[in-house]
Amino acid sequence: MKSANFRSFCDSMEDVARDIVRACRRGGRIIAAMPWPAMLVCCILLAAVISILPLALFLFILFMGVKVVIGAFVIDRRRSVREQ
């Protein structure tokens, strides 16, 4: 990688890091200004999203995989019956 490309890459990474730090500081200020009941509700909702969303995605992928495998066996069986 040329040094000019590496410098532009490093500059881009610095910009990304600066934006992330800025967003985290802003989020921290917003959370610090929240009343306790609102913060409790936000924490419960965030915990639910973090725990339920990956589970739902995993189950969707699992059942789609099972459906594809069963479908392959059914199609193979129908094809073998049709050929006889």
- At 30-70, the pLDDT tens digits run 888 999 999 999 889 889 889 999 999 999 999 999 999 99
Residue percentage of the chain with pLDDT more than 90? 50
Q: Which of residues 72 and 2 earns the better pLDDT score?
A: 72
**Contact status, residue 12 vs residue 5, Cβ threshold 8 Å:** no
Looking at residue 66, its amino acid is V
Q: Torsion over CA of 64, 62, 46 and 24, rounded to 10 degrees?
A: -90
Please tell me whether the overall predicted TM-score, pTM, comes out greater than 0.75 for this model. Answer: no
**Contact status, residue 38 vs residue 31, Cβ threshold 8 Å:** no
Q: Torsion over CA of 45, 50, 52 and 55, rounded to 10 degrees?
A: 180
Q: What residue has token string 């069986």?
A: 77
